[in-house]
Amino acid sequence: MTELVPERYPLAFQLYPYRRSPDQDAASPVRHKVIVVGGGPIGLATALDLGQQGVPVLLLDDHEGAGLGSRALCFAKRTLEICDRLGAAAPMLDKGVRWNLGKVFHDDRLLYEFNLLPEEGHAFPAFINLQQPWFEKYLFDAIAAAQAKGAPIEIRGRNRVDGLNQAADHVTLNVATPDGPYALEADWLIACDGARSPLRDMLGLDFKGRVFEDNFLIADVKMKASFPTERWFWFEPHFKSGASALLHKQPDDIWRIDFQLGWDIDRKKELLPENIRARVDAMLGTDVAYDLDWCSIYTFQCRRMDNFRHGNVLFAGDSAHQVSPFGARGANSGIQDVDNLAWKLKLVIEGKAPSRLLDSYDSERVYGADENILNSTRATDFITPKSAVSKLFRNAVLELAEKVPFARTIVNSGRLSLPCTYDGSTLNGPDCPTMPRRTRPGSPCPDVAMADGWLLRQLGNGFTLLTIDTDAPDLSTVHGLPLTRLATSAKENHLLRARYLGEAASAVYLIRPDQHVAARWETYDAKAVALALATALSLETA
């Protein structure tokens, strides 16, 4: 998003006020194991994930907390599952507005409805709506809770990185503070400094993609309305407030409304309260009382870096890839970056995996970014047709969608964020063709209710060997790593059978710390498991 007016400040929450650090008085730059730059959702989640795994991490942010401003609001099931592993999901779920249903309108006609989570047996809903500052605050609260239990996480507010020098085995950072500049060193640097990433510029790296020539007005309004908690999207709405419009409920009686304004607009004029109110009144009706809570205009781009790993510097979140908001794939995909990166970096730092394991962070998350950019670009092209002919085609599809279900698959008001399956990853081991496709190697494990709680709650603490209706020995360590053993039965659990067994009589799954499947077999074989684990760690397997 190239512009958000005003930018993400003033502060909504002052979470980590500036405090002078002893590092600022050191005679020579103090070396840290890992420095994360950026205290947005992705930087906070990275620090939390690493710190909880015992990796010492220092986070530097140029502000002192979460910004006020309307950016992300839709957080997907996979994000909640990851935040649950990090101990941050419960307050998000409590505060957030849960939803699974969406409606698509053209003019004044309902074209169709969709359910994003049509199946039972998941701990979390398809989505919650929660303002980004709250999402960040809950991540910060989880950091504070982890710190209280001894997790080695430090956050320094109003520490702005102004310079970066990369050497073979470390980086040096110049940091500006209210007390003047100082220098720091880090073995590993994770750049989570947002779409405009100063760090990317400091390393002279490209960020290539497409700019979309359209403006969207966000009007967050506070009202006691009786609209259902569903996502409503209009193409060419009858109330004429924009070329498209979106209505979504947020917590605290706040509703997010987006209007598509077109490219050639007078921004100042559009942001005048009376002009915003005219659009909102036309949508809601003049008898609906509301207050304007937040208004801004955004434009956007879909782009990514060529590579997310540059030696000992790793890019995550918007600094690495940027998408349009349609599909809610920005922060949601950034959280998947964190999930993918943290366990790999920990094992590399501990010397349990070679540094090339981090190349799989690059390849897997570049693959994920391309999937997100493709979906987001297609949605944007559909919502904002670039020529009269494309608009004609688009509207013909909309006409058809009202009557013919197959046409609904072509309508694209934003394909909403789904977790990425790392097909073709170098970390994937053997597959078993009689088992369901949705749990093939590379896939994120789908949740299932078990007799003793949710399955995902029992995965994610290192590598796990999940056995279903078959035996395997209790393995203490393989390749120097503890391998958690989880023995289950699908005999009385039809969802476990449907999601993990399929046609197979039994199953053995090797599951990565990020809850993605590494390999699977019908029965246990010690050599096969050891080889698949070596593959998942990028060890030499000759």
Ligand X SMILES: Cc1cc2nc3c(=O)[nH]c(=O)nc-3n(C[C@H](O)[C@H](O)[C@H](O)COP(=O)(O)OP(=O)(O)OC[C@H]3O[C@@H](n4cnc5c(N)ncnc54)[C@H](O)[C@@H]3O)c2cc1C
- CB 366, min distance to ligand X, A: 16
Using the minimum distance from each CB to ligand X, give the nearer residue, 241 or 488: 241
Q: How far is Cα of residue 356 from the mean position of the Cα atoms in its chain?
A: 24
3-state secondary structure 34-87: EEEECCCHHHHHHHHHHHHCCCCEEEECCCCEEECCCCCCEEEHHHHHHHHHCC
Question: Whole-angstrom Cα distance, residue 341 to residue 57?
Answer: 14
- CB 427, min distance to ligand X, A: 24
- CB 479, min distance to ligand X, A: 33
Using the minimum distance from each CB to ligand X, give the nearer residue, 235 or 315: 315
- CB 242, min distance to ligand X, A: 14
Using the minimum distance from each CB to ligand X, give the nearer residue, 130 or 146: 130
DSSP per-residue codes, 174-205: EEE-TT--EEEEEEEEEE---TT-HHHHHTT-
Write out the residues near ligand X by the rule CB under 6 A.
1, 4, 37-43, 60-63, 71-74, 132, 160-161, 192-194, 198, 218, 298, 317-319, 325, 328, 330-332, 334
Please give the single-letter amino acid code of residue 435: M
Please give the single-letter amino acid code of residue 434: T
- CB 47, min distance to ligand X, A: 11
Is the Cβ–Cβ distance between 102 and 227 less than 8 Å? no
Using the minimum distance from each CB to ligand X, give the nearer residue, 319 or 493: 319
- CB 459, min distance to ligand X, A: 23
Using the minimum distance from each CB to ligand X, give the nearer residue, 317 or 441: 317
The residue behind tokens 């920005």 is 330
- CB 304, min distance to ligand X, A: 12
Using the minimum distance from each CB to ligand X, give the nearer residue, 73 or 529: 73
Using the minimum distance from each CB to ligand X, give the nearer residue, 43 or 102: 43
Q: How far is Cα of residue 508 from the mean position of the Cα atoms in its chain?
A: 29
Please give the single-letter amino acid code of residue 151: A
3 state DSSP class of 372 = helix
Question: Whole-angstrom Cα distance, residue 84 to residue 364?
Answer: 22
DSSP per-residue codes, 233-277: EEES-TT-SSSEEEEEEETTTEEEEEEEEESS--HHHHTSHHHHH
Length of the chain: 542
